[in-house]
Amino acid sequence: MNEFDFIRRYLVQQNQDADVLKSIGDDAAIIRASVDMDWHISKDLLLSGRHFFEDVHPADLAHKVLAVNLSDMAAMGAKPRWCLLGVALPELNQTWLDAFCGALFGVAKRFDVQIIGGDTTRGNGVFSVTILGETPKGKALHRNGAKEGDDIWVSGQVGDAAVGLRLLGVAKQLPEYADFAESLRLLPEEVVQQCLAAQLRPEPRVVLGQSLLNVAHAALDVSDGLIQDLQHILTASQVGAEIHLEQIPSNRVFKKVFSPAQWQQCVLAGGEDYELLFTAAKEKRMQIELLARENNIMLTRIGQVGGEGLRILDAEGRALEIKQGGFDHFA
Ligand code: ADP
Ligand code: MG
């Protein structure tokens, strides 16, 4: 199979979107953008051996490649519309591509986004999606909108994806995860499966993100670890905050099987949760609790905006020392 067979067989789709005048097959896609909307454009790059293990299942890989981009749209309350897919593959293997493209178009359909173009080349497993989304003019959520007195909320639970990564790392006998081997053996099987799913197939909070427009003051998606990402909101908004350790939603079992340091590493600094972290006025509490029920998702208040810097308090009100903030590719 050559590049053109691949494009023709796997990528060319029936265009069902009236705003797409040209999709895959021409030199560039053409979209007719609405003048009432603001446009969001973002890109993520995933490298074999760095962002995923080389033997990852192609369906899981396709899911994650798209999900991390959808999550960036969710973080700003944007409705994802279109994306472009760049791939560098060592070979065009039919079985692999069947699984990859099947999952890719499945996720795209579920979130109502169209793949309208991309580029394909030979290379060592590089995947990059550029995504376009929209919000009504002036309504987008930013990192810099947090206000004194705001509640700080997080969706779902954090730490599962980090534990999932450690499960994979221990299974592969990677030395950097060896410390976790003993405690991970104590996790019940259903928790193991839940953590692997969180790591391999994160669920972007696309609907929730859009329903936070006009509700939240600031938002982002937790990709580098709860504390580090919260710091991004605080820095951008030039405010401080207080977080209550006991209120952070994470799997109950983690506290039993992990040491406090391991728990912190996974829950506070773990990364790849792709949950939404947002701040909102106290007056919005009822509305947010209603949103949680409507979206069938847990939304938890973990602290409040105010004061100097970030204080993380334990159950006795003692401030915690945080050494490892989160993930930094250049650290
Ligand atoms: P060009 O030579 O102009 O770059 P290509 O032959 O690379 O064009 O691509 C032909 C068409 O196929 C274009 O519309 C392009 O957007 C699309 N395409 C190529 N690779 C991909 C991909 N991996 N995913 C989606 N569309 C792709
Ligand atoms: Mg090209």
More confident residue, 285 or 314: 285
User: Which atom belonging to ligand 1 lies closest to the Cα atom of 24?
Assistant: 14
Query: d(Cα 127, Cα 143) in Å, to the nearest integer?
Result: 26
Residue 27: alpha-carbon gap to chain centroid: 31
With b for 16 or more beta-carbon neighbours within 10 A and e for fewer, the 195-221 pattern comes to bbebbbbbbbbbbbbbbbbebbbbbbb
Q: Which two tokens stand for residue 102?
A: 């099947």
- Ligand 2 geometric centre to CA of 104 (Å): 19
Q: Which amino acid is at 231?
A: Q
**Residue 265: how many CB atoms within 10 A of its CB?**
21
Give the C-alpha separation, 260 to 208, whole Å: 31
Closest CA to 247 of 134, 318, 117, 153: 153
Q: How high is the pLDDT of residue 324? A: 53
Task: Report the predicted TM-score, pTM, of the whole model to 2 decimal places.
Answer: 0.94
Helix axes 189-200, 58-75, angle to 10 degrees: 70
Q: Measured from the CB, is residue 136 less than 6 Å from ligand 1? A: no
Q: pLDDT tens, 102-118?
A: 999 999 999 999 999 99
Instruction: Report pLDDT for 327.
Output: 59
Closest CA to 201 of 79, 298, 61: 61
Three-state DSSP class for residue 324: coil
Give the start-end residues of each E strand in the chain.
20-22, 30-31, 37-47, 79-89, 114-122, 126-136, 151-155, 218-221, 241-244, 276-280, 299-305, 310-313
* Distance from residue 63's CA to the centre of ligand 1 (Å): 20
Whether 151 shows a pLDDT value over 70: the answer reads yes
Residue 307: phi, psi to the nearest 5?
A: 75, -165
State residue 329's pLDDT score. 60
Pairing outcome for strands 276-280 and 218-221:
antiparallel
User: What pLDDT, in 10s, does the model give residues 43-92?
Assistant: 999 999 999 999 999 999 999 999 999 999 999 999 999 999 999 999 99
CB of residue 114 inside a 6 A radius of ligand 1: no
Q: Which protein residues have their CB within 5 A of the ion that is ligand 2?
A: 119
Does residue 179 register a pLDDT over 80? Answer: yes
Q: Which ligand 1 atom is nearest residue 25's CA? A: 14
Residue 20 has a pLDDT of 95
Q: By percentage, how much of the chain surpasses pLDDT 70?
A: 97
